[in-house]
Amino acid sequence: MKKYLQPDKIENYSGFRAGLGKIEILKKHQYYVTDQPVSGDAPKKFIKHYEYGEAAKRHPNKWPAFIAKTGHKWYPIESITEYLLNRLGETLGIRMAASKLAYGGSQIRFLSKYFLAPDQSLVHGAQIYAGYFGDDQDFVEEIEKNKLAKELLTLQITQKAILKFFPIHAHQILEDLIKMLLFDAWVGNNDRHFYNWGVITDVKGRQTPYFSPVYDTARGLFWNYQEQKIVSLSKNSKELEAQIKKYITGSSPKIGWDSEVDINHIRLVEQIAKYNFGLKRESIHDLFSDDNLRKCEALIS
């Protein structure tokens, strides 16, 4: 018997009520929940979902797979924010995991398309760090648990770890990781821990390893604000500007920089640009070109 999405427990409500005419409705004859487990803090289910042109309706086992996530900490703005950030990343030309919003199990879900093909494996950042530190996974986990990632897992250490794991393809992998970090700095994502990025490998060693599409980008400006508060801020320009400046200053990465204490996103970007670390300064300008920024502004408006 097929299983379907059920309502997940919600911690906080943002107050937004979406018109479902704008969001795809998951019909029971077009999706089902599989038994494949999915890790993470947010409620997630692995589903198969029919999409026109992907596979025939009569072969549900061949339908594309998605991870259906409920933004339970601040519903539904958390999921809507994640979708918006994904669209912004795509607009900048960053390879993002294909995604969409959908309504199923009486809740709005963020659907991220499963991007691993058969015979592919995702080597998480945690595994790459563990390999660098003598295959000591527990040590790496303790670093995150004790909030020492910025101090011990710096960008320089990350580069060395990638070089050790993927010596031939490290340059391109590092370049794509830097683009992800620049994107995180731009949108204010401060939750890019080492399970939220990785490298895709061919388990049979036939294909070139490459940096994964960017996924799990659910944190940004006002993601945990109620709608009423945002409306109130929009009517007070000074307070709105103060809130934005506070967020910009306080937004920080999980990956740090050697000899920098409690580095924030702005400082990390400055250091990357100053030393052309993994990406030339000209490429950074291209990423955030006036044309790209205008496209992003048009997307938001």
Q: Topology of domain 120-300, per CATH?
A: 1.10.1070
What is residue 154's predicted lDDT score, i.e. its pLDDT? 98
Residue pLDDT, tens place only, 273-301? 999 999 999 999 999 999 999 999 999 98
What is d(CA 284, CA 182) in angstroms, rounded to the nearest whole number? 8
pLDDT at 13 over 80: yes
Tens-digit pLDDT profile for residues 96-126: 999 999 999 999 999 999 999 999 999 999 9
Predicted pLDDT at 23: 92
Cα 246 from Cα 233, distance rounded (Å)? 14
**Rounded CA separation 116/139 (Å):** 28
Angle formed by the axes of helices 155-165 and 170-187, to 10°?
A: 150
Domains 20-113 and 120-300 share a fold: no
Cis bond upstream, residue 76 (ω within 30): yes
Distance of CA 141 to the CA centre of its chain: 20
**What is the per-residue pLDDT for 18?**
59
Average pLDDT over residues 158-180: 98
**pLDDT tens-digit profile of 253-263?**
999 999 999 99
pLDDT over 90 percentage in the chain: 92
Q: 269 with 185: CB under 8 angstroms? A: yes
Q: State residue 39's pLDDT score.
A: 85
CATH architecture of 20-113: 2-Layer Sandwich (3.30)
CA distance between the termini of the chain? 44
pLDDT of res. 85: 98
Model confidence at 190: pLDDT above 70? yes
* CA-closest candidate to residue 71, choices 190, 225, 223: 223
Mean per-residue pLDDT for 136-149? 95
Q: Where are the domains of the chain?
A: 20-113, 120-300
Do 176 and 211 contact (CB within 8 A), yes or no?
A: yes
